[in-house]
Amino acid sequence: MKETEITVQVFDNFAKIDETLKNKGFKMVENYQLNDWYFSKIDNVLDMEYLDLINNSFLVREIIDATPQIQLCYKSKHLDDKGNVIYEEKEKTNLADLKSSLKVFTLAGLNNYCKVENNSYVYEKGKTSFVVQIIKDLGIFIEYEEDETMKNLTPQEKFEYMKNVLNKLGLKLGTDFSCKKVFMLLHKNN
């Protein structure tokens, strides 16, 4: 399934973000931890463009919440002519054991090139829902995925609509609404 989402960095602290969102009528409905291990058969990941890297990678995701689970995920990203991720297609399946899964991929010679640790807070107001993500060693981001009210819009229209919704929140947002967190973290650490 094709899905449009935007991700933007926020330069306010979490307390200010939480206060601002609650003052705008949003309610925090969920908190969970995501740990993602990115794997690829390619060794020279630092030399790759984002799209080539992510489309040649998969991740093992640990979800820590009331019902913890481990997933194997693949994301195929599609960019517009400005480099924005205009939509993505995802496939995922459950895995039984984190430690064994990571070991299998490592023993198979795959490159575990990045780990992203993400503390996520879901906020909702009516049909609008997005996630404030605190990414270890990187910063705070808002990820906003399309909902059913946007189904008749093109991917570019969805992108612009979601961007306008976030701009109206009154938070200190970055200018890139298509932040590529794994790519940012990979290059920050190297």
pLDDT at 72: 97
Contact 119, 138 (CB under 8 A): no
pLDDT at 2: 78
pLDDT exceeds 90 at position 120: yes
Q: How confident is the model at residue 138 (pLDDT cuts 50, 70, 90)?
A: very high
pLDDT band of residue 164 (cuts 50, 70, 90) is very high
> For residue 106, what are the domain limits?
2-189
CB atoms under 10 Å from CB of 151, counted, come to: 8
Quick one: pLDDT at residue 135?
98
Q: Is the pLDDT of residue 1 over 70?
A: no
Structure tokens at 159: 């992108």
Residue 8: pLDDT above 90? yes
What long-range pairs does 121-129 form, CB within 8 A, spacing at least 24?
A: 121/14, 121/18, 121/28, 121/30, 121/31, 122/28, 122/29, 122/30, 122/31, 123/21, 123/26, 123/27, 123/28, 123/29, 124/26, 124/27, 124/29, 125/24, 125/25, 125/26, 125/27, 128/26, 128/165
Residues 62-92: tens digit of each pLDDT: 999 999 999 999 999 999 888 888 889 999 9
How high does pLDDT run on average in the chain?
95
CATH number at 179 reads 2.40.320.10
How far does the chain reach from its first CA to its final CA, in angstroms?
Answer: 34
Domain count of the chain? 1
Quick one: tokens of 79? 């960019």
Model-level pTM?
Answer: 0.93
pLDDT of residue 126: 93
The SS3 call for residue 167 is helix
* Least confident stretch, 50-54, 131-135, 181-185, 186-190: 186-190
